[in-house]
Structure 1
Amino acid sequence: MKIAVMGAGAVGCYYGGMLARAGHAVLLIGRAPHVAAVSRDGLFMDTQSFQAQVPMQASTDASAVRGARLVLCCVKSPDTASAAAEMAPHLDADAFVLSLQNGVDNAERLQAALRREVAPAVVYVATEMAGPGCVKHHGRGELVIGPSSFSKNLLKLFADAAVPVTISDNVAGALWAKLILNCAYNALSAITQIPYGRLVQGDGVEGVLRDVLSECLAVAQAEGISVAGDTWHAVQQIARTMPGQLSSTAQDLARKKPSEIDHLNGYVLRKGEALGIATPVNRALYAIVKLLEAR
């Protein structure tokens, strides 16, 4: 199957690389230095279980989605609207789009813009770009995907690629569960530039994590969302299963790039204001990250 990855950063490269290793024709759409490296040498995957140079195609142009049966949308949340506009004229009539993005509303935004079925996926993977054409995997890799007309295909595709997948009828709750993890860790890791395992050992950090969790759950409950799983256990597990991981927000700030903070703690802050729910810890974390971005 031809598969296109729109926004070939760390997440897109990891899942695109896994699908390519399983024999699919994967094409990465990303930035010029990365595209040049992949076009020349393939994608180097440095994972916890293998290291491999994986041949695949790459392009800087969204028109390369043409002919793809499956498109993995992995762009940052602020780029969702522009990515949809760039892809729309080139998508085949039967192309299925899967959103592998942070935040809780990107699949809805894509579906409205593209006027086609888009399934949300909750992504649990620790990855980073170690350089052009090189993705480093720090841990995990499972996906929770909303039900769709393409569910059976996705289950087989990812199973054949050794990617654990669950189809969930409560994907909104799973998206909020992931949002809570991001709100708990991303800003703190970005502000301190400290990975999760060391971060949780800091004085007072557990209290901050619990406060963020409490505020997020209050907003989710007011929104009528049934958050999936034991959220505090999940927050604790992140530091245990991804101890060396810097958050994507930390990586963005280190590279002087805009982050997704508006769609993480900023999203909870705005929802809380609309619902009359105070979110002071999320507000503080959001404000500090925005100040750091402004530098």
Structure 2
Amino acid sequence: MKIAVMGAGAVGCYYGFKLARAGHDVVLVGRPQHVEAIERHGLRLEAQTFDERIRVSARTEASAVEGAQLVLFCVKSTDTESGAAAIRPHLALDALVLSLQNGVENADRLRALLPQEVIAAAVYVGTEMAGPGHVRHHGRGELVIGQSRASDHVARALIAAGVPTDISDNVRGALWAKLITNCAYNALSAITQLPYGRLVKCEGVTVVMRDLVDECVAVAKADGVMIPGDIGMAVRKIAETAAGQYASTAQDLARGKRTEIDHLNGLIVRRGEALNVATPANRLLHAIVKLIENK
């Protein structure tokens, strides 16, 4: 397939690398410093079991998505509308758009803006940009994607590229499970600038995380969301499977960038208000991250 990655940051570059390595024609759309490094030296993936470079096309212009059969949409939640507007004039009508984003609303936001089929995905991967054109992988990498007419085709391509992929008839629940994990870790990692493994060893942190999770579960229940599996266990395991990972929110704050906190803990606060569910722990962390972000 010809595959375009819109928003080639840590997540987009990781999956773009895997698909290009499997033989697909991949083009990355990203920031100038990454594009320049990738065009000059190739895309580097530093994983736990290998460290490789691969030659792949990279552009700064959204027009690079033209002709793509599959678009991995990986922009920040804050840029969903602007990213969709940028690619819309260049997308083939039969292109598939796979939303690999944090939060639970992005696929619906994309469907309101694009005539193409949009598939939601819950993303479980620990990555960071270690430098221009250089992705560091800390662990995991699986996807849960929603059911659609093209899900089987997309899943087969991803699995063949070494990306474990499940198709779910409850992708909304999977997205909420990921959201709850993000709400438990992201703000705390951002405020402290600590990776997950060190974070959970600090006094009182696991109790605070339990409060955050309980609030999120209460909001989800009031919103009619069925969360799959044991969410408490899933949250606890993250500190083991991605001990060295810093939350994306922590990475954004460290670089002086705007975070996605409004779409994480902030979303829990807004939905809690609408559903008359108290969310004091999420409200406090949301406020602290906004204070740091606006400093």
How high is the TM-score relative to the length of structure 2? 0.99
Question: Which residue does 1:232 correspond to in 2?
Answer: 232
Matched, 1:139 2:139: yes
The ranges of structure 1 where at least 4 consecutive aligned residues each deviate by more than 4 angstroms after the TM superposition are: none
* Displacement after TM superposition at 1:40 (Å): 1.2
Q: How does 1:24-39 map to 2 (within 5 A)?
A: 24-39=24-39
| SS of aligned partner of 2:148 | coil
* Displacement after TM superposition at 1:4 (Å): 0.2
| SS of aligned partner of 1:38 | helix
CA distance in 1 between counterparts of 2:280 and 2:215 reads 8
CA distance in 1 between counterparts of 2:85 and 2:159 reads 31
CA distance in 2 between counterparts of 1:253 and 1:27 reads 28
Pairwise CA RMSD = 0.6
Q: How does 1:1-295 map to 2 (within 5 A)?
A: 1-295=1-295
Q: Which segments of 5 or more consecutive residues in structure 2 lack a partner in the other structure?
A: none
Q: Which segments of 5 or more consecutive residues in structure 1 lack a partner in the other structure?
A: none
| SS of aligned partner of 1:115 | coil
CA distance in 2 between counterparts of 1:80 and 1:65 reads 16
CA distance in 2 between counterparts of 1:262 and 1:179 reads 12
CA distance in 2 between counterparts of 1:63 and 1:160 reads 28
The share of aligned pairs that are identical, in percent, is: 63
Deviations 1:31-65 (A, max 9, x none): 00100011111101111122111110000010110
* Displacement after TM superposition at 1:116 (Å): 2.4
Q: Kindly provide the amino acid, as one letter, of the partner of residue 119 in structure 1.
A: I
Once the two structures are overlaid, the 10-residue window that deviates more, 72-81 or 43-52, is 43-52
CA distance in 1 between counterparts of 2:243 and 2:215 reads 25
CA distance in 2 between counterparts of 1:263 and 1:274 reads 15
Q: Kindly provide the amino acid, as one letter, of the partner of residue 93 in structure 1.
A: L
The number of aligned residues is 295
CA distance in 2 between counterparts of 1:157 and 1:47 reads 21
CA distance in 2 between counterparts of 1:148 and 1:19 reads 21
How high is the TM-score relative to the length of structure 1? 0.99
Q: Kindly provide the amino acid, as one letter, of the partner of residue 273 in structure 1.
A: E
CA distance in 2 between counterparts of 1:74 and 1:139 reads 18
Deviations 1:156-210 (A, max 9, x none): 1111111100000110000000000000000000000000001001111111011
CA distance in 2 between counterparts of 1:102 and 1:77 reads 7
CA distance in 2 between counterparts of 1:41 and 1:3 reads 20
| SS of aligned partner of 1:114 | coil
Q: Kindly provide the amino acid, as one letter, of the partner of residue 70 in structure 1.
A: L
* Displacement after TM superposition at 1:115 (Å): 2.2
CA distance in 2 between counterparts of 1:229 and 1:172 reads 13
CA distance in 2 between counterparts of 1:203 and 1:154 reads 44
| SS of aligned partner of 1:257 | coil
